[in-house]
């Protein structure tokens, strides 16, 4: 037989596009349309419904950027349509290729009841099935004219990302407002032909099944009368019945479809718009659940449920009912789908605490899975946190975006820094926006790397990013692939049902140890510096507020601010969303974030001040107390306590031969040359130089920074090919600053200026570096380099509840791909017996490289901290303005010293007038053990909760001293619920004894007597 495949396939495409799809709605009449444009921000529903509207016609322009227009559509169902199914087709001017990224709408009845959302792939509203004919139709549409930021030519700078700069030009043209007959038979024919046509394209040409499908499609097209598609659709479908009924092979890959609408809590839209996106999507999904009995929908992010509860209670009522029915599944158990690289230990824990508690309180649901499809890589401390929250599974998809190395598994055990393992799945469909295309289903089956030992994978199904969710077409296609020869099988299942099956069939899944590094989006560790600083400082202020409020509550009866701390934590957790904290959102988001962080700081500082005032005693005593919030004693003041301290006398900067100055405090001798560069940092006790021979530390370097795509997200390796060392000097002067001695350095470059103050404090074995940058560059990358005379094949960077080692070499492509990585408060390098720490108060991105010197064959290991970038998309003014950073170089530091110095720089002492020494609520007798939180229990019982962890990577026995009368100490999970097994506290005089494995975190709950 002649090969006529291309002829039949081309015929299928044209007949579908030009004849069959248009026949789904064969008759229509126009609706009358009127519009009212809200003058500012969105208004309450009742106001929008009652507002005076003026006539508007199809073809008219509407919608200034970020505006809200209330459309009123009205009409009458023709009497001739009696007995038929009728829908309203409401096209606001959609581009079908941009679901979630365009204008959207939520449809209401006149009484304010929400009906469903409108988006480019969901433009219909059911009027009746069947109708009687003659019904009056009146609907209201709350339409958001969100501008298109990520257009067909992506990454072009645009002012549309902030309402203040977006202008008022209408963005959309009203396209269609009709009542139309819906022909379900033709609609089903479309689904039949799409499924078979897409399956056919994936089948091997030499296989009989492809030809069986091809011939059936050809026969069906023969039965379609192109002048009477509606009258011949049933006959065409009959020709397809046999090939659609052929069951899947027993060995077919098995896909668990989970209805899904990944909604970025902010990205190319502000937070306030996400509130409405969630309402639109959940309205659609609850309606679809009512229509489709097999369908299951999962939604993560407790924050998004909380938004609709607060802002759209009528939508939330439908969600609660669907959750109770077990078909709308709260998933993930986190407050938001956060970044996991940059949030600190406690913040990462609280993501699960607040997320899981919300789902328990609202729905009685506890999640076993962490659900993070779009997060940009995963820190090595996360498995322990997931387990400590009472969960055991993880799903993500984003690792499939890695540019260099293909991850070797789709289902595996992920082992974290402490040895905890979490059963993990990467959907081989390689998208969290699966639309049930045949190509997607075939890709999942072919791509699945665990064939032969496992056969289950998961497909998150529905339009996401900007929301929209699953469509009736996706559900219909899934039904046809439930068991279809040549295809993987598709079944709607909850995440828990999938993971239970996947884990049972793969008990010996392979193990991946350490971080799940995304070989892409590395620049998100640096973009939008003020957002990152706001996060870091909020995390540490929350630590202080909880610590001092708890201490004051126990010691003085101070009213513990439960409600305020709960609200502030949720605000900070929201801003850790994986497009806010990483700096990849529009200008509006980051402008608001800066204001929010300032308000958070004001409120937390107020809580801290009030609690310390309650503790400090008589402010008129003339005495000054130092409050130490850090987890280590400093200046004689115990961790978590307050007392008087004395400050040593600083020396004075000495002129350096050849220019510059020498700083010396008896522990370190630092030479700063005439260029203002650190050319020596000599550890006097160890008789050891820190700076590599012939090199200079604290060297500011600037690179061009124009990645191939994803400007705010990416830095490509070629950026290193061009570098400019900033050595020109405006000013070099000696200074004395708060008891320290140092120098002030001013440099100008481009349109920017940097001022640095380098200081040595009495008794401190570190060089403090305060940097202020007035930054006005674009598409540039600013780093500070520290070439160290250290031979190290690996280095440590702090992560949640510990640290993680990365290679300094590039032996393999896996190591080479990590040319920009994340740390929290410190990076540490060492040779046996001597090390160096570089600590920071608000930066995350860094790189570490090593070279061998020709002069002495010694190794130079260079640590560079990333300070600022200047991408132009999606915020064309990214990071413009003044920024302040604090770093410190600590020669001779052990890993324990690095931990201590990291906390010191992030938790400065507070000085309060008073005469009452404050004893800590709790103490530890092992410096390797860090107390990460002291607080009162969330249930307002008054119990004291202490979280601690082993910080150096070794085993530790520790006595937790308890400075109050207590009974019944319990080890709990993160939600402060007693654990049936695990670490057991042993009562000893004045406290409890614990044994910790490397990096183990333990939460202890203490009932006060």
The β-bridge relationship of strands 929-936 and 944-950 is: antiparallel
Distances (CA, A) of 36 to 51, 62, 173, 554: 7, 10, 15, 57
**Which helix or strand (DSSP H or E) is residue 264 part of?**
none
Q: Are the beta carbons of 759 and 652 closer than 8 angstroms? A: no
- For 869, which DSSP code? -
- Which tokens hold the place of 85? 């199914």
Distances (CA, A) of 767 to 313, 453, 690: 55, 55, 12
Distances (CA, A) of 638 to 893, 919, 931, 933: 21, 8, 12, 15
Q: 767 - beta bridge partners?
A: 889
The residue with tokens 């007597």 is 1009
CA-based end-to-end distance of the chain? 90
Query: In 10 A of CB 731, how many CB atoms?
Result: 12
Query: How far is it, in rounded angstroms, from Cα 602 to Cα 287?
Result: 44
**Which helix or strand (DSSP H or E) is residue 410 part of?**
none
Q: Which residues have CB under 8 Å from 678's CB, separation 6+?
A: 670, 671, 672, 691, 696, 697, 698, 758, 767, 889
- Which tokens hold the place of 123? 């433009």
Which of 338, 412, 414 is CA-nearest to residue 380? Answer: 414
Query: How far is it, in rounded angstroms, from Cα 749 to Cα 777?
Result: 9
Query: How far is it, in rounded angstroms, from Cα 1005 to Cα 239?
Result: 68
Strands across the sheet containing 826-831: 731-737, 740-749, 752-760, 767-775, 881-891, 834-840, 826-831, 794-799, 802-807
Q: Which residues have CB under 8 Å from 1002's CB, separation 6+?
A: 947, 948, 949, 971, 983, 994, 996
Q: Are the beta carbons of 489 and 257 closer than 8 angstroms? A: no
The residue with tokens 């800066």 is 594
Three-state SS sequence of 520-574? CCHHHHCCCHHHHHHHHHHHHHHHHHHHHHHHHHHHHCCCCCHHHHHHHHHHHHH
Phi/psi for 827 (5° steps) reads -120, 140
Q: Which active-site residues does the annotation give?
A: 374
Q: Which residues have CB under 8 Å from 724's CB, separation 6+?
A: 701, 702, 703, 749
The β-bridge relationship of strands 369-371 and 393-395 is: parallel
The β-bridge relationship of strands 104-108 and 136-145 is: antiparallel
Q: Are the beta carbons of 375 and 338 closer than 8 angstroms? A: yes
Exposed, middle or buried: residue 150 (CB in 10 Å: 0-12, 13-18, 19+)? middle
Q: Are the beta carbons of 68 and 99 closer than 8 angstroms? A: no
Distances (CA, A) of 703 to 114, 815, 867: 52, 22, 12
Exposed, middle or buried: residue 618 (CB in 10 Å: 0-12, 13-18, 19+)? exposed
Query: How far is it, in rounded angstroms, from Cα 371 to Cα 299?
Result: 9
Q: Are the beta carbons of 639 and 627 closer than 8 angstroms? A: no
Alpha-helical runs (H) found in 561-696: 562-574, 587-616
């Amino acid at each position: 037989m002649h090969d006529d495949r291309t002829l039949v396939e081309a015929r299928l495409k044209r007949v579908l596009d030009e004849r069959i799809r248009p026949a789904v709605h064969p008759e229509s009449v126009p609706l009358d349309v009127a519009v009212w444009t809200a003058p500012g921000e969105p208004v309450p529903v009742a106001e929008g419904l009652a507002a005076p509207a003026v006539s508007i016609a199809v073809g008219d322009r509407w919608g200034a950027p970020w505006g809200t227009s209330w459309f009123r559509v009205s009409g009458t169902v023709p009497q001739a349509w009696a007995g038929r199914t009728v829908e309203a087709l409401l096209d606001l001017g959609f581009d079908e290729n941009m679901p979630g990224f365009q204008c959207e709408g939520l449809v209401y009845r006149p009484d304010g009841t929400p009906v469903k959302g409108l988006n480019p792939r969901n433009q219909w509203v059911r009027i009746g099935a069947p109708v009687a004919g003659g019904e009056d139709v009146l609907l209201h549409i709350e339409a958001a004219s969100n501008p298109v930021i990520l257009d067909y030519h992506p990454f072009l700078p645009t002012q549309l990302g902030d309402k203040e700069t977006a202008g008022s030009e209408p963005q959309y043209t009203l396209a269609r407002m009709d009542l139309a007959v819906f022909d379900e038979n033709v609609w089903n024919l479309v689904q039949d032909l799409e499924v078979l046509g897409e399956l056919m394209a994936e089948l091997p040409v030499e296989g009989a099944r492809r030809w069986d499908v091809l011939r059936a499609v050809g026969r069906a097209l023969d039965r379609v009368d192109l002048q009477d598609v509606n009258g011949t659709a049933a006959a065409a479908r009959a020709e397809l019945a046999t090939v659609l009924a052929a069951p899947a092979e027993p060995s077919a890959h098995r896909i668990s479809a989970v209805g899904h609408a990944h909604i970025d809590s902010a990205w190319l839209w502000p937070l306030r718009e996400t509130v409405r996106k969630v309402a639109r999507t959940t309205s659609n999904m609850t309606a679809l659940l009512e229509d489709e009995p097999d369908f299951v929908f999962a939604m993560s992010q407790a924050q998004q449920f909380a938004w609709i509860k607060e802002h759209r209670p009528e939508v939330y009522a439908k969600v609660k009912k669907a959750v109770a029915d077990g078909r709308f599944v709260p998933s993930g158990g986190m407050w938001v789908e956060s970044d996991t690289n940059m949030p600190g230990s406690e913040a990462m824990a609280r993501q699960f605490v607040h997320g899981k508690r919300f789902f328990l309180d609202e729905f009685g649901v506890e999640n076993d899975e962490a659900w993070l499809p779009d997060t940009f890589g995963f820190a090595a401390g996360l498995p322990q946190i997931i387990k400590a929250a009472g969960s055991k599974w993880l799903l993500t998809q984003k690792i499939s975006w890695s540019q260099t190395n293909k991850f070797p598994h789709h289902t595996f055990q992920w082992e974290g820094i402490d040895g905890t393992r979490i059963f993990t799945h990467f959907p081989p469909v390689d998208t969290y926006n699966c639309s049930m295309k045949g190509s997607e289903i075939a890709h999942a089956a072919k791509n699945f790397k665990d064939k032969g030992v496992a056969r289950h994978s998961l497909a998150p199904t529905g339009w996401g990013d900007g929301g929209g969710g699953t469509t009736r077409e996706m559900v219909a296609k899934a039904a046809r692939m439930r068991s279809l020869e040549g295809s993987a099988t598709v079944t709607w299942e909850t995440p828990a049902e999938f993971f239970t099956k996947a884990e049972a069939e793969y008990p010996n899944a392979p193990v991946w140890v350490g971080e799940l590094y995304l070989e892409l989006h590395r620049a998100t560790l640096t973009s939008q510096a003020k957002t990152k600083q706001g996060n870091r400082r909020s995390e540490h202020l929350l630590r202080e507020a909880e610590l001092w409020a708890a201490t004051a509550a126990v010691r003085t009866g101070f009213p513990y601010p439960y409600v305020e701390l709960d609200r502030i934590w949720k605000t900070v957790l929201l801003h850790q969303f994986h497009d806010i904290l990483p700096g990849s959102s529009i200008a509006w988001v980051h402008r608001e974030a800066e204001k929010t962080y300032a308000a958070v700081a004001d409120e937390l500082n107020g809580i801290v001040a009030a609690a310390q005032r309650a503790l400090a005693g008589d402010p008129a005593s003339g005495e000054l107390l130092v409050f130490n919030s850090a987890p280590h004693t400093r200046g004689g003041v115990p961790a978590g306590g307050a007392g008087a301290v004395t400050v040593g006398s600083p020396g004075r900067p000495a002129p350096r031969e050849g220019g510059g100055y020498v700083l010396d405090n008896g522990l370190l001798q630092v030479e700063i040359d005439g260029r203002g560069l650190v050319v020596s940092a000599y550890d006097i006790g160890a008789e050891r130089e820190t700076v590599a021979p012939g090199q200079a530390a604290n060297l500011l370097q600037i690179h061009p920074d124009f990645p191939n795509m994803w400007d705010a997200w990416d830095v490509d390796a070629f950026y290193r090919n061009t570098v400019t060392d900033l050595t020109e000097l405006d000013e070099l002067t000696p200074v004395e600053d708060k008891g320290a001695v140092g120098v002030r350095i001013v440099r100008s470059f481009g349109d920017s200026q940097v001022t640095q103050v380098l200081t040595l404090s009495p008794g401190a074995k570190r060089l403090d570096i305060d940097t202020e940058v007035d930054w006005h560059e674009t598409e540039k990358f600013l780093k500070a380099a520290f070439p160290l005379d250290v031979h190290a094949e690996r280095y440590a960077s702090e992560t949640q509840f510990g640290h993680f080692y990365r290679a300094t070499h590039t032996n393999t492509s896996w190591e080479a791909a990590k040319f920009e990585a994340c740390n929290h408060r410190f990076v540490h390098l060492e040779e046996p017996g001597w090390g160096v720490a570089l600590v920071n108060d608000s930066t995350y991105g860094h790189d570490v490289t090593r070279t061998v010197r020709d002069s002495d064959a010694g190794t130079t290991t260079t640590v560079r901290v990333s300070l600022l970038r200047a991408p132009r998309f999606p915020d064309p003014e990214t990071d413009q303005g003044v920024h302040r950073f604090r770093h410190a170089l600590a020669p001779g530091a052990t890993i324990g010293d690095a931990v201590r110095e990291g906390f010191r720089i992030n938790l400065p002492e507070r000085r309060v007038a008073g005469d009452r020494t404050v004893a800590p609520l709790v103490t530890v007798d092992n410096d390797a053990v860090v107390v990460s939180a002291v607080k009162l229990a969330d249930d307002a019982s008054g119990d004291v909760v202490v979280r601690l962890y082993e910080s150096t990577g070794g085993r530790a026995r520790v006595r937790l001293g308890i400075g109050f009368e207590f009974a019944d100490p319990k080890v709990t999970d993160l939600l402060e619920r007693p654990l049936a097994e695990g670490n057991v506290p042993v009562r000893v005089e004045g406290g409890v004894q614990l044994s910790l494995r490397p990096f183990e975190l333990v939460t202890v709950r203490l009932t006060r007597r």
